[in-house]
Amino acid sequence: MAIKSNIVIDQGSDYEVTVNVKDANNYPVTLNGFTGAAQMRKHYTSLTSYSFGVTVTSSTGEVTLSMPANTSNYISPGRYVYDCELTSSSNTKLRILEGIVTVTPQVTR
C-alpha cells in the first residue's frame, strides 16, 4: 500500500524530496534491481502529465523525487495528483507514494 503524502512545489523552483522505504519492522528495504517513475497530473485521467526524476538508492532503500525549475516553471498553479511507482527487474510494480501536489505561483521571474 502506498504512503499518502501531500507535497508543495513552488512554481519556477527546483524541487527534491527523499523518502526512506522501510518494512513493517522499520528496517530499510533493499531495492536492488528496482527503477522508479513518478508523474503528476491535474486529475487521474488527464492526458497532460509532468514527470519527476526518480533516483533509487538500492542499498539504503532511499527513493528521491526531483523536478528542475525549468519544468516547474511551466506548470500552472493549482492542485494536482501524483504517484511514484517502483518496478523490479522481474517487472513487479510497487506504488510507494501517492497524494496531492499543490503548485504555488511565483511572482519573481
Question: In the predicted model, what is the mean pLDDT of residues 17-33?
Answer: 91
Residue 69 within any structural domain of the chain: yes
Radius of gyration of the chain, Cα coordinates, nearest whole angstrom? 14
From the list 57, 98, 56, the residue with the least C-alpha distance to 80 is 98
**Which amino acid makes up residue 57?**
T
Residue 32 within any structural domain of the chain: yes
Max CA distance (Å), the chain? 46
Phi-psi region of 9 (alpha: psi -120 to 50; beta: other; left: phi over 0): beta
Query: Domain limits at 19?
Result: 3-104
Residue 109 within any structural domain of the chain: no
> Is the pLDDT at 23 greater than 90, yes or no?
no
pLDDT score for 103: 98
CATH at residue 47: 2.60.40.10
pLDDT score for 15: 98
Residue 31 within any structural domain of the chain: yes
The partner residues of 52 in beta bridges, in order of sequence, read: 38
Residue 60 within any structural domain of the chain: yes
* pLDDT tens digits along 33-92: 999 999 999 999 999 999 999 999 988 999 999 999 999 999 999 999 999 999 999 999
Residue 57 within any structural domain of the chain: yes
- d(CA 13, CA 30) in angstroms, rounded, equals 31
- CA angle 68–66–96, rounded 5-degree value: 155
C-alpha cell recorded at residue 102:
499543490
Looking at residue 5, what DSSP letter applies? Answer: -
Domain count, the chain: 1
From the list 56, 55, 51, 52, the residue with the least C-alpha distance to 66 is 52
